[in-house]
Structure 1
Amino acid sequence: MLSTRTALATLRPPLRASRWPPRRPVPRRTFISSALQGLSDGFLDLAIALPFPPGWPPYASTIILVTVATRLVFTVPFSAKNRQWRAENIVIPQLKSEMSSIHKRVQQDMKQEGFRGDKQAVVAEIVKRTKPIAAARRKELLAQHNASPLPTILMPIVTQIPLFVGTTMVLSRVSAAPTVLDSESFFTLTSLAHADSTATLPILLGVITLANVESARWFVNAEVLEREQKVAKWTAERREKGEQILEPRKIYQTALRMLSVGRILLAAMVPGSVQLYWVTSATFGLFQSWALDYWDMRRRNRIAP
């Protein structure tokens, strides 16, 4: 009997362990999570502190105000338009003016070397030798006038993407339940914490993005159009010969058009606060592009002979 009780006692779970629930692991706060939490709290405090008129929704108004302010501070000063303008209006004309001297220098070198051949062979050799010299001179002029293409391409990406991603993450964190944004509506949003049920803001975002792509040619001058026509003619001739020619500009524009549709689908899945931020940022970018293109056109016309 004693041995039976001892065996049952060993099989019985200890009562002390059943009194306490199992410990849950405490999530460790990383630098990113701490920074997001701090920025989220700062955004909520800012929305309460700003003296908006009584009828204005404080959180939606703060999103719009912060978007415009950050774009003015972090994206407008780092616009690549100035670098692009210097490349097109200073570097390219100067390189064109130097091409005749480069051709003469190449011809003199060929004469000194005793190059012989028919007219077609001579022209092909001149073109072959001129290309690397012109490319080196172009690179030198771009560096001299601070208009190198790589920084021109990377500058908008470096200045805009971190700001865009960071603000999106902060607003997503602020919109997580429970949140005060759930009680505020704006435009077609019944709540800033939920997606637009009418899909008005996502569609508007896609339209604005597409307008930014299509309106890029509104302020193109005659010289640029003439150069594009020459490039198109040259491309057609090369393709008739069976060569494969890539057109980066058309590929880029097609990708942006596809992005317009993709942004609609993606925006439909994010909270209303993020949708409002994306639409505000896209609208600011559209007007910024128009203003810079118009200013660029005025500057071109001012220096035109």
Structure 2
Amino acid sequence: MSVFLRLRHEEYRLCHFFLSKNSYNRRIIYQLGDKNVLLRSQRRNFSLQSTIDSFAKTQTGIFKTLSESTPVEYCQKFLLNVHDVTGLPWWATIICTTMMLRSCITVPFAIYQNYILAKLEYVKIEMDDIAKELKKETAVAVKMYNWDEKTARISFKRSIRKQWTNLIARENCHPFKTTLLVFFQLPLWVSLSISLRNLVYMLPNQDFHAQLTFTELSVGGFGWIPNLVEVDSSLILPVCFGLLNLGIIELQTLSKVNVPTKLQKFLTNFFRGLSILMIPIASVVPSCVVLYWTTSSAFGFVQNLILVSPKIRRLCKIPQTPSELEQPYKHIITGIKYRFKYFSDKNS
């Protein structure tokens, strides 16, 4: 049974690494004062180490650029600092860091996105009334000035654009603001994923601290995944990751009362397929990365579930809209029951 003693960086100084005569045993030695302390002796499969060395030397192009980028560097340092300060095992460090960053970054932007969407809904309602008035005015102008159909259409479209711009400026709710969540959440997701990948492959520098972190990840797992460097051979995490993503898509679909457009139906089916496609991808990446993905998706599912509540929306200063459900959870449960009944009747 190997023993791992974790020491704070300020409490030790590196003495040396050495390999024993048995090439499968690696011992990590530190020096505390004049006393050598054996921290870890474990059997190591050097084919894995050679793979890591080869991977670090051969990575080029976009992967090298991403792994050495500034956002990834900051995320990697943040992960290491959380691990060192809290003293938590790596599985708990990944979960806590994910929840911390999503609470501080993505939740405020998600609330702001819902706020802008609510404002836009009111603007569109007002715009419908304005469009009716403009149609009447255009019809009058056609008779007064003998406009042809093309001139009338150009004038109408120009007036519509002007009125829409005025309403957007008045309410300060430009549609682009609804994409801010994606512009912050996606880079964060990529940066943390690459950061964990760097820790597994000891990048960008295979120094002592990188090897120490690799060793901690190797023993910092939980339950059926004791080694976070390896893949989850049980497929529990990859499947949970895919199901959570599907749950988020279905939750967003069931919480809407408006009939979806063809584009919305296409995007919904596209993301459903993407969620399923991510399962085999998640099954071949290190478990620490999949743990982050699964935790992030679980947080997103709960976040979406909470933000459909009218009480929470009023608490977050999100305006009430005509399309808002008074009893969203009851509506979602009814929708789920209807789908199960539909599929059961179809298969019977």
Give the TM-score normalised by structure 1: 0.69
Q: What residue ranges of structure 2 are gaps of 5+ in the alignment?
A: 1-56, 58-63, 203-210, 315-319, 326-348
Counterparts of 1:102 and 1:34, CA distance in 2: 52
Percentage of matched positions with identical amino acids? 23
Instruction: Please state if 1:261 is matched with 2:276.
Output: yes
- Structure 1 residue 200 displacement after superposition: 0.8
Rounded to whole Å, the distance in 2 between the matches of 1:110 and 1:37 is 63
Name 1:202's counterpart in structure 2: 238
Name which of 247, 250, 271 aligns with 1:211: 247
Aligned pairs for 1:166-185 within 5 A: 166-176=191-201, 178=211, 179=214, 180-185=216-221
d(CA) in 2 for partners of 1:194 and 1:172?
11
Partner of 1:59: 90
Corresponding residue for residue 178 of structure 2: 152
2:133 maps to 101
With over 3 angstroms needed to count, the CA separation of the structure-2 counterparts of 1:136 and 1:187, relative to structure 1, is farther
- The offset of 1:131, in angstroms, is 4.2
**Aligned equivalents of 2:252, 2:308: Cα separation in 1:** 8
Deviations 1:32-74 (A, max 9, x none): 638556754553342243165xxxxx21111111101101111
User: Which of the numbers 143, 146, 156 marks the counterpart of 1:111?
Assistant: 143
Separation of aligned partners in 1, 2:65 and 2:266: 40
- 1:1-305 equivalences under 5 Å are 33=68, 36=72, 39-40=75-76, 42-50=78-86, 58-79=89-110, 80-88=113-121, 90-114=122-146, 130-153=156-179, 155-176=180-201, 178=211, 179=214, 180-221=216-257, 224-225=258-259, 228=260, 247-295=262-310, 299-300=320-321
Q: SS in structure 2 opposite 1:293?
A: coil
- The residue type equivalent to 1:251 in the other structure is F
1: CA distance, partners of 2:174 / 2:129: 20
Cα root mean square deviation, aligned: 3.2
The 1-side partners of 2:313 and 2:153 are apart by: 33
What amino acid does structure 1 have at the position aligned with 2:98?
T
Structure with bigger helix share is: 1
**Contact conserved, 2:79 with 2:97, CA < 8 A, in 1?**
no
Distance 1:183 1:32 in 2: 24
Q: Aligned partners of 2:274, 2:290: CA distance in 1, in Å?
A: 16
Structure exhibiting the larger radius of gyration computed from Cα positions = 1
CA distance in 1, matches of 2:191, 2:232: 22
Residues 238 and 279 in structure 2, CA contact (< 8 A), matched pair in contact too? yes
Q: Which moved more, 1:186-195 or 1:281-290?
A: 186-195
Gap runs ≥5 in structure 1: 1-26, 53-57, 233-246
Q: Which 4+ runs in 1 deviate beyond 4 A?
A: 29-32, 34-39, 124-129, 301-304
> Alpha-carbon deviation of 1:30?
8.5
CA distance in 1, matches of 2:217, 2:308: 37
Deviation at 1:301, TM superposition (A): 6.3
Matched-pair contact (CA < 8 Å) for 1:175–1:182: no
Assess, with a 3 A threshold, how the Cα gap between structure 1 residues 114 and 45 changes in structure 2: closer, same or farther: closer
Q: Is the 8 A contact 2:67 2:195 kept in 1?
A: no
Give the match's secondary structure for 2:296. Answer: helix
Cα separation, 2, equivalents of 1:170 and 1:198: 24
Q: How many residues align?
A: 243
In 1: Cα distance, 2:274 partner to 2:66 partner: 32
CA–CA distance in 2 between the matches of 1:258 and 1:34?
30
Work out the CA distance in 2 between the residues paired with 1:31 and 1:284. Answer: 25
Q: Residues 98-129 of structure 1, C-alpha deviation per residue, up to 9 Å, x if partnerless?
A: 2332122112211211358xxxx8xx997775
Larger strand percent: 2
Residues 143-190 of structure 1: CA deviation (Å, up to 9, x unaligned): 33222223323x122101111111111111222364111012224323
Q: Tell me, what secondary structure is at the counterpart of 1:49?
A: helix
- Counterpart CA distance in 1 for 2:134 and 2:171 is 20
